[in-house]
Amino acid sequence: MANLVTSKKKRKYDAIVIGSGATGGWAAKELCDQGLKTLVLERGRDVKHIRDYPTASKAPWDFEYRGTVPLHLRGNHQNLRRLQEQTLHWALDDNEQPFIQEKPFRWFRGYHVGGKSLLWARQTQHWSDFDFEGPSRDGFAIDWPIRYKDLEPWYNHVENFAGIAGNNDNLPELPNSNCQPAFEISCIEEYFKESLKKNYGNRHLINGRCAHLTDPQEIHARQGRAKCMNQTMCNRGCVLGGYFSSNSSTLPWAEKTGNLTLRPHSVVHSIIIKGRNKHKSKAVGVRVIDGLTNEMVEYYAKLIFINASTLNSNAILLNSKSDRFPNGLGNDNELLGKYVSWHNYRGKANAQFDGLKDKKTSGRAPSHGYIPRFRNVFSQETDFLRGYAIGIGGGRGRKFETEVLGDQLRENLLHAPLGNWHISSWMMGEVVPIETNHVRLSPDKTDKYGIPQLIVSCDWTENDDKMVQDYLDQSQEMFEKAGFTDISVRDAHSPPGSDIHEVGGVRMGKDPGTSLLNSWNQMHLCKNVFVTDGACMVSTGTQNPTLTFMTLTARAANYAVEQLKSKNL
């Protein structure tokens, strides 16, 4: 018995964080900075900054298959169409976590220390009150319990530490950021920017703000990070720490405090609940299945942060059943797993421009142009709710003539003439959350760890279809007015989830009857559990969401520490 007691004592912490990605890293940093002994649980393998980036900075000719993954290495990896030799070390085998697609859904996961913070597109635009007030104004979902003023100082806090490149554009629909110098956009993007100014009063092409260091400050030097060198090989892992990731930034920072314990290969099964009383139930720990031995281990803490990524955070809470919560932790209102949403990237557009012939593309930029949402911002003006942002990229390549042989072919390849400028755009639309878009646990199918498989039941709505059509119509018109040629607009008809930004299922709100979390990301019915990844979101906005996830996390972590020290948890 003495050994059991000692073992349990060694498994006690002040706080447990589930997940080591963008939000898990921020939770760990803030909690460790405040002196809490913190355990971070990561489902996948360990990844050490620099040491575990095997393809960083490699040239194309350094890869045996020039980037293509041969058949014998493909196996059963998820999302086979996106497999590349350069990033094969991040790929997940589908046997690791099968799930049930009640309707087609693409689920991108990052099961390694750092999670998707090593894989993200690094775009970091602020939300505004037009986004936070959207649900109440338009009559869908529920009202957000917070507004922009609640997050503004925390946006600043996160941006100072992470480092954001961009401009302050003074747009009410896209509040200013704490920026370092922006990357230069191409001349075709600059030309299109001027065309929008000339032809529209409310459409602005700006430099997309991104989590890259262009002017590192002392706080970044203390993290061991250096200036971005524009290699644009970010998804392999950056040895310079030029872009923000948990591995280069928040986790090493937390480790230096001496308060961090990181445990990889830890597949979270459920949250351990104590007490049957409606007002006194609390979480006391986390059940973990060791990914290498399949052994069940329990860890204990006063405070638990769930940052496993949206769908997995839902799954963990749904599987956290007890006498008090037979339908999942905090799920008295039976809304857990419902109102899941994501971003709509179905719309695409391309065109050519027979101008700017005295210029060509030079160098690389890890960001691109960005048009903030211009539909239904100040008033409802279309037959669909909410709106979309637009990403813009462009360049000028060479015209390779390959229909000849011998000396002429060599000459054509070595001295190919420059072609026209090309421009492309893609939409990022807000998908209105509806109750039928949901996840739930399978009653009879489990994964290799014995955990119920997740059933994902999500689909597009008429609102999404109308939004795509508007994007296509407006892109055609904007390109025509700019004098572009060979214009192509199309609906990719990709399934939900194709562009990663899933949110919801454990939404925030003012009323415990219609939400799971309060304004501090704290569970209404289990006060020492906080959910601060995408699962907490009421709606999606039209901006890339990760900056807002991290900001909510930093804010909630500091609140949680205050509550813990005040003995309110």
| Any domain includes 435 | no
Dump the DSSP string for 411-436: HHHHTPPEEEEEEEEEEEEEPPP-TT
Closest of 264, 267, 290 to residue 112, by C-alpha: 264
Can you give the CATH number for the domain in which 286 is found?
A: 3.50.50.60
> Is 337 contained in some domain?
no
Domain count across the chain: 2
Same domain, 250 and 320: yes
Residues 64 and 83 sit within 8 Å (Cβ to Cβ): no
Helix (H) or strand (E) holding 6: helix 2-10
Q: What are the Cα distances from residue 328, in Å, to 402, 479, 481, 483, 552?
A: 61, 50, 54, 56, 23
- Asked if 157 and 74 sit in the same domain, the reply is yes
In a domain, 417, yes or no: yes
Q: Is residue 128 part of a domain?
A: yes
Question: 156 and 32 in one domain?
Answer: yes
The pair phi, psi for residue 408, each rounded to 5°, is -65, -40
One domain for residues 124 and 34: yes
Write the CB contacts of 486 (distance below 8 Å, at least 6 apart in sequence). 350, 351, 352
Last residue of a domain, one of 495, 520, 547: 495
Look at the pTM and tell me if it is higher than 0.85: yes
Query: Are residues 566 and 422 part of one domain?
Result: no
Q: Are residues 384 and 404 in the same domain?
A: yes
Pairwise CA distance, residues 398 & 392, whole Å: 20
Please check whether residues 515 and 546 belong to one and the same domain. yes
* Cα separation, 240 vs 248, whole angstroms: 9
- Final residue before a domain boundary, out of 447, 475, 495: 495
For 440, the enclosing helix (H) or strand (E) is: strand 438-446
What strand order describes the sheet that includes 452-457?
100-101, 452-457, 438-446, 338-341, 503-505
> Tokens for 344?
């709509």
- Residue 129: which domain range? 13-138+151-165+211-330+503-569
Q: Going residue by residue through the chain, which has 569 residues, state the pLDDT in tens, using 9 for 90 and above.
A: 344 445 777 899 999 999 999 999 999 999 999 999 999 999 999 999 999 999 999 998 999 888 888 888 877 776 666 788 999 999 888 889 999 999 999 999 999 999 999 999 999 999 999 999 999 988 888 999 999 999 999 999 999 999 999 999 999 999 999 999 999 999 999 999 999 999 998 999 999 999 999 999 999 999 999 999 999 999 999 999 999 999 999 999 999 999 999 999 999 999 999 977 766 789 999 999 999 999 999 999 999 999 999 999 999 999 999 999 999 999 999 999 999 999 999 999 999 999 999 998 888 899 999 999 999 999 999 999 999 999 999 999 888 888 888 888 888 888 888 999 999 999 999 999 999 999 999 999 999 999 999 999 999 999 999 999 999 999 999 999 999 999 999 999 999 998 889 999 999 999 999 999 999 999 999 999 999 999 999 999 999 999 999 999 999 999 999 999 999 99
Q: Judge whether 74 lies within some domain.
A: yes
Could you tell me if residue 454 is inside a domain?
A: no
Say if 83 falls within a structural domain: yes
d(CA 485, CA 483): 7
Domain co-membership, 557 together with 518: yes
Look up tokens 């299109």; give the residue.
192
Query: Does 130 lie in the same domain as 30?
Result: yes
Same domain assignment for residues 392 and 491:
yes
Asked if residue 315 and residue 253 are part of one domain, the reply reads: yes
Cβ distance 414 to 394 under 8 Å?
Answer: no
> Where among 495, 522, 538 does a domain terminate?
495
Residue 8 lies in a domain: no
- Regarding whether 233 and 197 lie in a shared domain, the answer is no
Kindly state the helix (H) or strand (E) to which residue 407 belongs, with its residue range. helix 406-414
Residue 63: burial class (beta carbons within 10 Å; 0-12, 13-18, 19+): middle
